[in-house]
Amino acid sequence: MPSSLQCQDNHKLHVAIIMDGNGRWAASRELMRAAGHEAGIEALRRVVRAAPDENISTLTVYAFSSDNWKRPEGEVAALLDLFRRFLDTETEDLVRDGVKLSIVGRRDRLPQDLVHEIERAEAATEWGDLLHLRVALDYSARDMIIEAAKKAAGAGDLTRETLAAQLGAPEVDLLIRTSGEQRLSDFLLWECAYAEFHFTTRLWPDFAENDLKDAIAVFHHRQRRFGALQAA
């Protein structure tokens, strides 16, 4: 990690997004919550398309937290179904657009057919080199850190570097959360150690290319010091 980084440089960015507000978006239109999640997929498509032009090389999005299993059975089923359809319908476009897809989080509690779809989509997109899209599914940062620490310690070498290598993601430069909430909700706790945060009241289904551009523009005006003093 550099001791100081001007945000204006050509550093490729890791942007993380907590896509929040689908339910409120649907409720404000008297629609079912699932319709909000459907509209959320459109917003994700827009952001994935716009990301490379914003110098983003890694995009991690929070689609389903390990705590989301506490939601009503019907909503969980609708979300899992949406993920299946997303993998089924998007893979071809992701390959065409040079996007490598990875699903991060636990897989042992996901339905077997969804795990197969994930493996198929990851294999199909593995050569994508324009953008790495990481979708967090059944994800808990605390659980990921525990697992990574166990592996690093098991190999007899638990350091910041080995733990970070086990987690397998670059540090987050910018974390965006939509819908006015301002918390991390067990997302990328380790990787966000020095992330800049951008909170917007925009509900996720309304999030557009310009919102991403605005967030990146604000980020570029931040002075990141990583604990050091500002360069003279």
- The residues assigned a catalytic role are 20, 68
Query: Whose Cβ is closer to ligand FPP: residue 42's or residue 157's?
Result: 42
Give me the least distance between CB of 155 and ligand FPP, in Å please: 32
Sequence-distant (6+) residues with CB within 8 A of 210 are none
Query: Whose Cβ is closer to ligand FPP: residue 117's or residue 173's?
Result: 117
Query: Whose Cβ is closer to ligand FPP: residue 5's or residue 131's?
Result: 131
Give me the least distance between CB of 71 and ligand FPP, in Å please: 8
Give me the least distance between CB of 206 and ligand FPP, in Å please: 12
Taking the C-alpha atoms of residue 10 and residue 13, their distance in angstroms, rounded to an integer, is 9
* Residue 21 φ then ψ, to 5°: 110, 10
Taking the C-alpha atoms of residue 50 and residue 30, their distance in angstroms, rounded to an integer, is 30
Give me the least distance between CB of 145 and ligand FPP, in Å please: 21
Taking the C-alpha atoms of residue 223 and residue 24, their distance in angstroms, rounded to an integer, is 34
Query: Whose Cβ is closer to ligand FPP: residue 37's or residue 198's?
Result: 37
Q: Is 57 helix (H, G, I), strand (E, B) or coil?
A: strand
Give me the least distance between CB of 23 and ligand FPP, in Å please: 2
Other beta carbons within 10 angstroms of residue 89's beta carbon come to 10
Other beta carbons within 10 angstroms of residue 143's beta carbon come to 14
Residues that bind ligand FPP (CB under 6 A): 19-24, 37, 40-41, 44, 63, 68, 82-83, 86, 135, 179, 204
Sequence-distant (6+) residues with CB within 8 A of 124 are 91, 94, 95
Closest CB to ligand FPP belongs to which residue? 23
Query: Whose Cβ is closer to ligand FPP: residue 83's or residue 219's?
Result: 83
Report the largest interatomic distance among the alpha carbons of the chain, rounded to a whole angstrom. 57
Distances (CA, A) of 79 to 68, 75, 166: 10, 6, 28
Orientation angle between helical segments 33-50 and 209-220, nearest 10 degrees? 60
